[in-house]
Structure 1
Amino acid sequence: MSPNPSRPGLLGLVLHQAEVRRCLDDAWDLRLDERILTARQAASCLLRPEVGDLVLLSVAESGDHYILAVLERAASEEVAHFNLPQDSVLHSSGRLTLAPEQELLCVTTRIGLQAAGADANIGLVELTTRALRTQAERIVTLARQMDATIGELVQRLTRSQRFVHQDEECQCANLRLLVEKTAVLQSRETFIQAQEQVKVDGETVQLG
């Protein structure tokens, strides 16, 4: 029930229910009875009013009218827009959960994340990026199967160790192995097969 406009409240304010008729740049035209009033959105009203919405309007004698709340949406299936100030912080002393039933989207120019720890349980991840840069003191990867298609791979390592429990196979057009000091090949049986030529060149060659 709207207060009697002939009896203003504190500071000359009167509350009414009004209908949004038009959206301006930073204000709204509202229909109140047979009048059209222009009002701005109050800082505490985060839901952006849309045309046809029923809102709670604060009418002041000074002419500064404010939309305090959106009471009913004209089209409940439309996207709801929440307007926050330029810099905003959502604070909780406990746990904060975002739980949309369908999808969670984040559209922005830059994302920053700071946390002491992070856990993610995701069924499928698809990442499309122009460049990817990671810095970590230690990385541990556990995977049952990994498949990578890379145009060019360059690795610069101080020390490298690889342990293969079963078979390892390398297929390439050309293979060049450069060792600065000593190369050691140890196996129970070694087979070298070439269709045309096998060449061993060195200052000293020892067999057996």
Structure 2
Amino acid sequence: MDRSVRSIRQPAAVQGLEEAIVESVSESGVLITSPNGIERASQAVSCLIKPCQGDTVLLLRVAPSRLYILAILERTAASGRDVALEFTGSVSISSAEEVTIASKHTKLAGQQLDLVGRDLSLTSNTLKSYSDTTVLSSKTMKIASQTLNVVGQHMSRHLKSFVSMVAGNEVRKAGNVTSQVSDFKLDQSRHSIIDVRKDLKIDAERIHMG
């Protein structure tokens, strides 16, 4: 046999804890180098960190052919500093007190993301939201801002009642303005100026001036 080829053996080892080196990781299991040679081991459910090639792991031998990786003892620089937690089913984190996740960059990714809470607070210097469609539904909504800019190609509002109160100046600039009122329209002001450069047309059944 070629001495450069190492075979997978199933030795009659003593049960207990051992230290091993991860050779490779695949869906079928983890190949490790133990004091008995190259063997195949499974990741224990309690070992949350996914093993990587080159990791030093704590191995539990419950039978000659049944080995479980209990923990990652050491990760070399060649394996990288990244740590992955992988689960095959649902994961639940429960605490009677506060849960804090702190990092330089936190990313949440999923096909569907639900945030449910009695009170939800977002605090940020800059808040950005990108989506194809955004739907906001609320019994009461309040927007308070020192400066509010709304920019879009089209904007429509469908309201039962609309009240606008501006304490200072209101300026409107448009190419064309059309107002359609089905019943009654009232414009009240202390002073009013209508400045028309060309034509002014007033069409009504009765016109009262004075």
Please report the TM-score for the alignment, with normalisation by the length of structure 2. Answer: 0.90
Distance in 2 separating the partners of 1:85 and 1:99: 25
- In the TM superposition, residue 185 of structure 1 has moved relative to its aligned partner by 0.5
Letter in 2 for 1:84: F
Say which SS state the counterpart of residue 57 (structure 2) adopts.
Answer: strand
Corresponding residue of 2:62? 60
- In the TM superposition, residue 84 of structure 1 has moved relative to its aligned partner by 2.3
Matches for 1:53-202 after TM superposition, within 5 Å: 53-61=55-63, 63-75=65-77, 77-100=80-103, 102-202=104-204
Check the 8 A contact 2:13/2:64 in 1, yes or no: no
Runs of 4 or more, structure 1, over 6 Å off, are none
Distance in 2 separating the partners of 1:29 and 1:173: 72
Corresponding residue of 1:207? 209
Distance in 2 separating the partners of 1:128 and 1:196: 46
Letter in 2 for 1:109: Q
- In the TM superposition, residue 26 of structure 1 has moved relative to its aligned partner by 4.0
Distance in 2 separating the partners of 1:119 and 1:147: 22
Distance in 2 separating the partners of 1:134 and 1:152: 18
- In the TM superposition, residue 200 of structure 1 has moved relative to its aligned partner by 0.5
Change beyond 3 A, Cα 1:113–1:104 = same
Say which SS state the counterpart of residue 21 (structure 1) adopts.
Answer: strand
Identify which range, 130-139 or 77-86, moves more after superposition. 77-86
**How many pairs were matched up?**
199
The CA deviation string for residues 15-45 of structure 1, in whole angstroms up to 9 with x for no partner, is: 1000001111141100012510101100000
Say which SS state the counterpart of residue 20 (structure 2) adopts.
Answer: strand
Q: Percent identity?
A: 22
The CA deviation string for residues 120-178 of structure 1, in whole angstroms up to 9 with x for no partner, is: 21110111111100100000111000112111001100101011011101110110000
Please report the TM-score for the alignment, with normalisation by the length of structure 1. Answer: 0.91
Distance in 1 separating the partners of 2:39 and 2:173: 77
Distance in 2 separating the partners of 1:111 and 1:150: 27
Change beyond 3 A, Cα 1:29–1:77 = closer
Corresponding residue of 2:49? 47
